[in-house]
Amino acid sequence: MKNLGLKAFSLLIALLLFVFVRGQSNSAQMSFIAPVEIQNLPSEKVILLPTLRQAQVTVRGPAFLVSQVSAAAPSFRVKLPPLVENRFEAALIPDTLALPPGVEVVGIEPPKIELLLDRRASKAVPVEVPRIGSVNDNLQLVRFEVQPPEVLVSGPETEVKEVRAIETAPVDLRDIKQDTMLELLLRPSWQHTKLVKDSSVVVTIKVTVVSVEKKFSGLPIDIRSREGRQYEISPKRVTVEVSGPRELVLQLSASQIVPYVRLDSLVDGNRAAMVSIDLPESVSLVAIDPEKVEVRKIEAGVQDSAPLSVNGASVTVEALTDSSSKKRSDAK
């Protein structure tokens, strides 16, 4: 037969190689961790224990095959019966590992798995957002809203019964300077119970500026007229009450509140004028006392005093001299 010698030589080499691979001198042993997969778990059940389902497996076989076993990540498969009880025990069977031919299992630790199950339950629980500190004294918190206010959780019935709420990351109110919207992650703290859908909530924070009132007494009234006439008013001072942002109003000084009467269009014989106020921006008027003053036009050369009626009382009004008028004009 043609090339019979070559074929016989090839067969001999193959046989020697087979003997070498199968020989004890080329055998290897190795241990690895194999996960345990639970199959056919009823939808109304949940596994409580063990939380880490795995076993240590020791195998032996040809070195080149054994070295490939851990890379293939074999796992045990345990199939549950349809009407499984809350306690179930199953042996870990080597055949479910799907090892390559020639590799044998020499040890499994533990050799079986014991499962503790419970009925699955679900319920809605409120979301709680921890708060740190408070907004500063110049602001007032008017709205702190969480959406959604509740989330659905699911887990073992015994654990779900004990769930009262779920928290988020805290909100530091000391950092809030204006209306703010935050997305916060929920922080489940249970061993088995899980969130069904939502993993975060949106917190809407609204603040308003705190408004306070402040009273200024004895403020001099400025006389404003472009007609070149001289007037005298009584009383010459008023009490003014204003309101506005706390931070601004508390820093207000009397010099920033300017009461005045405008006499440009005063009709002869009109003895009363409304008091107006110049105020800083964001500050509003609450009250003026009195709201009106009596006005008298000073005729040239008149230096005497004349009584006027102010709010039902008799008041003596002194005529202004040219120098005093000039001082008021300079002050303006």
CATH number at residue 68: 2.170.120
- Could you count the other beta carbons within 10 Å of the beta carbon of residue 73? 10
Is residue 13 assigned to a domain?
Answer: no
Residue 34 lies in a domain: yes
Q: The whole model's pTM is what? A: 0.59
Q: 76: pLDDT confidence band, cut at 50, 70 and 90?
A: very high
Q: Examine the domain organization and report whether 220 and 324 are in the same domain.
A: yes
What's the distance, Cα to Cα, between the start and end of the chain in Å?
133
**What is the tally of structural domains in the chain?**
3
Do residues 230 and 325 share a domain? yes
| Percent over 70 (pLDDT), the chain | 80
Split at pLDDT 50, 70, 90, the class of 302 is: very low
Can you give the pLDDT at residue 310? 36
Residues 245 and 307 in one domain: yes
301, pLDDT greater than 70: no
d(CA 120, CA 194): 11
Determine the pLDDT at residue 287. Answer: 95
Same domain flag for 163 and 266? no
Q: Which domain holds residue 69?
A: 27-110
Q: β-pairing, 112-128 with 150-156?
A: antiparallel
Q: Is residue 148 part of a domain?
A: yes
Asked whether residue 92 falls in the same domain as residue 128, the answer is: no
Query: Would you say residue 326 lies in a domain?
Result: yes
Quick: pLDDT tens for 84-123: 999 999 999 998 898 888 899 999 999 999 999 999 999 9
Does residue 258 sit in the same domain as residue 181? Answer: no
Is residue 3, in this structure, part of any structural domain at all? Answer: no
C-alpha dist (Å) from residue 262 to 224, 274, 308, 330: 5, 8, 19, 17
Same domain, 86 and 152: no
Q: Which of 115, 38, 29 is nearest to 75 (CA)?
A: 38
SS (H, E, C) the chain: CCCHHHHHHHHHHHHHHHHHHHCHHHEEEEEEEEEEEEECCCCCEEEEECCCCEEEEEEEEEHHHHHHHHHHCCCEEEECCCCCCCEEEEECCHHHHCCCCCCEEEEEECCEEEEEEEEEEEEEEEEECCEECCCCCCEEEEEEEEECCEEEEEEEHHHHCCCCCEEECCEEHHHCCCCEEEEEEEECCCCCCEECCCCEEEEEEEEEECEEEEEEEEEECEEECCCCCCEEEECCEEEEEEEEEHHHHCCCCHHHCEEEEECCCCCCCCCEEECEEECCCCCEEEEEECCEEEEEECCCCCCCEEEEEECCEEEEEECCCHHHHHHHHHHC
Same domain, 91 and 140: no
Measured CA to CA, the distance from residue 240 to residue 263 in angstroms comes to 20
Identify the band that residue 69 occupies on the pLDDT scale cut at 50, 70 and 90. confident
Could you report the per-residue pLDDT of 126-169, keeping only the tens digit for each? 999 999 999 998 999 999 999 999 999 999 999 999 999 999 99
Per-residue confidence (pLDDT) for residue 266, from 0 to 100? 61
Residue 234: inside a domain: yes
Instruction: Say yes or no to pLDDT of 330 above 80.
Output: no
Based on the domain organization, do 181 and 96 belong to the same domain? no
For 7-50, write each residue's pLDDT tens digit.
Answer: 666 766 766 565 555 554 578 898 999 999 999 999 999 999 99
